[in-house]
Amino acid sequence: MDSAQHQINHHFPRSTQYDPTWVREHSMGENVLFNLESITSLLPLKKGMRVLDLGCGKAASSIFLAKEYGVQVWAVDEAISASANYNRVQEENLENQVFPLQLDARNLPFPEEFFDVVLVIDSYTYFGTDDKYLPYICRFLKPEGYIGIVDVCFKDEIETIDQVPEFLQEDFQAYWYYIHSVAWWRKLWEKTGLVQITTAELLPAADLIREQYVRDFEEHGQKKDPFARGLKKDKDHQISFFRLVGQRTSRGAYLQSYKKA
């Protein structure tokens, strides 16, 4: 076993038990199970808990959560058919644990304080940069429940067009303008008073994740993926991946403009 594979096995002992071809086919970017396992160790997941897997893509993350932790998972994605995800869930005999739904992340039908944990893997940047989104999603989280996200980030915040590195200039205003630093995300969440930040940092295995992502990009013809293309050009590792975990406080979530479920 080479050194890189040994490190991967060390960091992702659960994920590496899954067929890598299946994982690649069901990831919509970098290895979704690596990203997910980067955060599950920080959460008190227990059998029977209700978990919202928001932006679940092809439900590989939802299947993993149900299998590995015995939780009930509501697998929500706006772009992927609930029927297609249900078929994948049935193939794993998890139809009594994983419940696929095709929904807009900004218009969810759940009762308040329904979930023990909300997880968003590789999706939060698409809707969560709105200052009002955390107050919205926190309405569905139980008191002292957890919200955790894993996503792409910049190591240093890019605040002006002049600060955009040359290798990103072509794609920045289409794909990268809503990517931020860990410090930016921490401030966004802290100022609401709705969560106590328990973790805000780059992923410990970020370099391993990016290496595999770029390798898959090169080997499997994902030439239209702007994030993998950016990582490949990023010689100074200005792009990385981060994890952010917050525990719900007792403060009420006040919101004016989102539709009430």
**Which of 40-44, 46-50, 221-225, 229-233 has the lowest average pLDDT?**
221-225
* Residue 221: pLDDT over 70: no
Q: State residue 218's pLDDT score.
A: 75
256 in a domain, yes or no?
no
Our count of domains for the chain comes to: 1
166 in a domain, yes or no?
yes
**pLDDT tens string 144-182:** 999 999 999 999 999 999 999 999 999 999 999 999 999
Domain that holds residue 92: 3-248
54 in a domain, yes or no?
yes
Average pLDDT over residues 52-74: 98
Q: Residue holding tokens 């990103």?
A: 168
Letter string b/e over residues 91-111, b meaning 16 or more CB atoms within 10 A of that residue's CB: ebebeebbbbbebebeebebe
255 in a domain, yes or no?
no
Give 78 or 216, the one with higher predicted confidence: 78
253 in a domain, yes or no?
no
108 in a domain, yes or no?
yes
Please give the share of the chain, as a percent, with pLDDT higher than 70.
Answer: 95
